[in-house]
Structure 1
Amino acid sequence: MEELHIPDLIVLAIPFFIVSLIAEGLLVNKMRREGRPLVGHTVRDTAASMSMGLGNLAINLVWKGAAFAVYAALYQLTPLRMGTGPWAWVLLLFADDFCYYWFHRVHHECRFFWASHVVHHSSQHYNLSTALRQTWTPMTGLPFWMPLALLGFHPVMIVTAQSISLLYQYWVHTETVGRIGPLEWVLNTPSHHRVHHASNVQYLDKNYGGILIVWDRLFGTFQPEVERPVYGLTKNLHTFNPARIAFHEYAAILKDLQRPEPLRTRLGRVFHGPDWTPGPDQRPPDNTAHTLSA
């Protein structure tokens, strides 16, 4: 496999993350004094988000190597080669964004994957620190980018494109930026992503795009920002404990798997959407249901 060396862009961006968080905090305080109804930062929430980000960074020191090995093995298997020229990069950035859309959508629509992604939605605040609130189980994302290696994209290019997407998405986690004109039609913007992080009924499971919003427009998951977002989950966590934030949904899944229900129902609780409930034909008999609710 030809050599291609690109530094880890996320690690290089850490000083920028710190400076921008401080700058945003100062700007939010100024805007709130001027009467803007912004959620703003709190020390405990921001600390929890940063703890999740540091944990994700530490885990990815190992996991990125494992994921890279899988991409490299698939790259060796395929006869296809996209090359490393400018057009290969352009094509890859579009392909990566398409993969990200489906990764993101599946992680909302299937509870097994949601257990990993729910971490990112667990804050009731919306600011740049929210972007750092990342999963400690990034392994669920691997299958969504494996096709890029089989298409002949170099593994280093794949992980670099993933980093570019994450860096782009950092700036959309803010209330300090309004709509940005015609670019709203093409790009994922702070306005679009505020919708994604909201628990308002009309905003649920919308705007999955990473860099581009065109996939949402194409596949019917786009929703403009029309009312003030209420951030967080439909059933919020009331904790700043990083371990609970990271694993609470996995614990809930394990608890559901121990219910005295048919196997089909228990599996449904794992692989259907997070809000799925069994139909009458999948519920336990009335006496069992009464016992469970008592």
Structure 2
Amino acid sequence: MPDFPNIILYAIPFFILAMLLELYVTTKAQLKHVKGYEPKDAFSSIAMGLGNVILGFASKALVLLALFWVYDNFRLFTIPIAWWSFVLLFFADDLSYYWFHRISHECRLFWASHVVHHSSQHYNLSTALRQTWSGGFYSFVFWLWLPLLGFHPAMILLQMSISLLYQFWIHTEAIDKMPSWFEAVFNTPSHHRVHHGSNPIYLDRNHAGILIIWDKLFGTFQPELEEEKVRYGLVKNINTFNPVKIAFLEWWYMIKDAFTGRKTVKERFMYLIKPPGWRHDGTGKISDELREDWLNSNKNL
């Protein structure tokens, strides 16, 4: 087992200093376009982050077990631990993250855990810490093809941590735009603000981890529009700062929709795999329909 450092643990002081710096800049500089910190919201996000770390000890053990099971029993090749294999892994991991992130918005079973990250109506570095308490126990399935190819599980976990670390700094309004060449290739605060928007035009867009090229390749890219200021949060906000409710409320709603009322077996199952907003009686609207309605009423944009 390669002895790679736990970079997330080492990054904690950086997270704290970065949030303090952002807080200073957004309050002292009085940036007009920045909403700033709301104490209850920030503390909720930090509590969600701490819960994620604590539960992570169990979920990471499960992930490591699954990755090694595939690697030891089914791998097609044995990819050595070298600089060039990390380059290949960088792109493979980022592609895995894109599809995990996209499906987490398009399938309610995965949305039930991912919704946590979108539940804040604020957008700052503390929002990056608002992480799931349940997703780590099953979202790893999107990475199982990597040990199948022959990447060592320790390499995969390290690259997943690098991706998570990169995504911390893009959760801010204090940075407007990066240089155009950077915006064209990488995920940035501007791109990720779009992803956190509840505006119909922004829903389920920009699922990138590090590279925004996947969204451009697969048709889910949306630039931030000057004429459409981002409204953060959910289409229907949960309006609570209780970490336990934030973690499990959507699970309760999904289970209630799927297993109560007069529905066929197929309709119950569809509540687990259809996108958020889908209703078996046709009364709900998914993000694509909300976006189409918005575009029809804003044809001049």
Spell out, residue by residue over 1:4-52, the C-alpha distance to the aligned partner (whole angstroms, 9 max, x if none).
11121111111111111111111111232x5x12111011000000000
CA displacement at 1:279 relative to structure 2: 4.6
d(CA) in 1 for partners of 2:132, 2:53: 10
Task: Check 1:269–1:79 CA distance in 2 against 1; reply closer, same or farther (3 A cut).
Answer: closer
State yes or no: 1:125 paired with 2:127: no
Amino acid of the structure 2 residue aligned with 1:248: L
Q: What are the equivalent positions in structure 2 for 1:41-60 lying under 5 Å apart?
A: 41-60=37-56
d(CA) in 1 for partners of 2:248, 2:219: 31
Amino acid of the structure 1 residue aligned with 2:184: W
The answer on whether the counterparts of 1:6 and 1:160 sit within 8 Å (CA) in structure 2 is: yes
State yes or no: 1:170 paired with 2:171: no
Q: Which of 92, 96, 104 in structure 1 is aligned with 2:93? A: 96
The answer on whether the counterparts of 1:259 and 1:266 sit within 8 Å (CA) in structure 2 is: no
The answer on whether the counterparts of 1:114 and 1:274 sit within 8 Å (CA) in structure 2 is: yes
Give the count of matched residue pairs: 276
Aligned to 1:261: 263
d(CA) in 2 for partners of 1:240, 1:250: 17
Aligned to 1:292: none
Aligned to 1:219: 218
Q: What are the equivalent positions in structure 2 for 1:1-294 lying under 5 Å apart?
A: 3-32=1-30, 36-77=32-73, 78-137=75-134, 138-181=136-179, 182-226=181-225, 227-256=228-257, 257-279=259-281
d(CA) in 2 for partners of 1:21, 1:75: 38
Q: Residue 144 of structure 2: SS of its match in structure 1?
A: helix
Larger Rg: 1
d(CA) in 2 for partners of 1:149, 1:259: 42
The answer on whether the counterparts of 2:33 and 2:173 sit within 8 Å (CA) in structure 1 is: no
CA displacement at 1:87 relative to structure 2: 0.4
The answer on whether the counterparts of 1:116 and 1:140 sit within 8 Å (CA) in structure 2 is: no
d(CA) in 2 for partners of 1:10, 1:154: 19
d(CA) in 1 for partners of 2:256, 2:61: 32
CA displacement at 1:211 relative to structure 2: 0.2
d(CA) in 1 for partners of 2:278, 2:165: 33
CA displacement at 1:140 relative to structure 2: 2.5
Aligned to 1:288: none
The answer on whether the counterparts of 1:75 and 1:149 sit within 8 Å (CA) in structure 2 is: yes
Amino acid of the structure 2 residue aligned with 1:194: R
Amino acid of the structure 2 residue aligned with 1:151: L
Identity %: 49
Runs of 4+ in 1 over 4 A off after TM superposition: none
Spell out, residue by residue over 1:162-188, the C-alpha distance to the aligned partner (whole angstroms, 9 max, x if none).
000000000000000111121111000
Unaligned runs of 5+ in 1: 281-294
Q: Structure 2 length normalisation: TM-score?
A: 0.90
Q: Residue 170 of structure 1: SS of its match in structure 2?
A: coil
Unaligned runs of 5+ in 2: 283-301
Q: Structure 1 length normalisation: TM-score?
A: 0.92
Spell out, residue by residue over 1:110-165, the C-alpha distance to the aligned partner (whole angstroms, 9 max, x if none).
00100000000000000000000000012131110110010100100000000000
CA displacement at 1:213 relative to structure 2: 0.2
Spell out, residue by residue over 1:53-87, the C-alpha distance to the aligned partner (whole angstroms, 9 max, x if none).
00000011121122111111211122411111100
d(CA) in 2 for partners of 1:43, 1:230: 19
